[in-house]
Amino acid sequence: MTNRIKKIFSDRNKKLVTFVTGGDPNLIDSKKIINTLATNGADIIEIGMPFSDPMADGPIIQLSSNRAIKAKIDLDNIFSICMNFRKKNNKTPLILMGYYNLILHYGIKKFVRKCETYGVDGLIIVDLQPDEDTELLSYIKSTDIDLIRFITPTTNSKRLSTILKNSSGFLYYITITGITGQQSADFKVLKKSINKIKKHTNLPIVSGFGIKNEKDVKKICQICDGVVVGSSIVKIIQNNLNNTNKAISIIAQFIKKLKQGTIQ
């Protein structure tokens, strides 16, 4: 498996990373939505693994997880979404994002093997601390799967070096202290933090949480290597649950606009 994440960051262009919950609002429509993200400008796609207690997620993403769970979406369905996507697209990196409990329950070895089989390029495990990741790392070290870490405005230098030790792919900088989809980033704090982190690593830094529109994307891409937009996309799905074609059409236009914001 080629390292698609490394390849996507090999030029100097800013990247648009998009997030949706896998299986929201149902399996068939979710596959269509994820394909739409890629064809309209998403450089990397994060697929949320539905979980009943997503502690880092705001109400919009929590509700999307609930919808997917009600639609009986499990990890095998998530892998079927990845498989479907890879039939059409072998270029755009796919990242699975979620909570460690799901992986433990599924079986770490089996999970990593399925990620390799179905073209998953990276993992973001929200509640897996660097001090507790030895077992997962032991299974992914012989693969091309990246383990992507969070860094927050409160991360100090000592913690940063621990986080960087086994990080790969890119770093996910959380622009706010709080949950997804809420307040916007403080640009001055963001700039200072990113400059500090860049002194310690060559990994690309992508910012997420609180980034809602093209204007936010443009501003944050001035100092970061890319942005993550999630809640605003999931909100479109939520607002059009009875009309998937309309949701897909709105998402397509929205992604095109966001992508424009990455052009500096």
Q: What amino acid positions are annotated as catalytic residues?
A: 46, 57
CB 48, CB 99: distance < 8 Å:
no
Compute the C-alpha angle 152/106/234, nearest 5°. 50
Answer for the pair 127, 150: CB distance below 8 angstroms, yes or no.
no
Cα distances (angstroms) measured from residue 112 to each of 74, 137, 140: 15, 10, 7
Judge contact between 221 and 227, C-beta under 8 A: yes
Alpha helices in the chain (DSSP H): 4-8, 27-39, 59-70, 75-88, 100-106, 108-117, 134-140, 157-165, 187-198, 214-220, 231-239, 244-262
Cα 2 to Cα 122, 143, 234: the distances in Å are 12, 10, 29
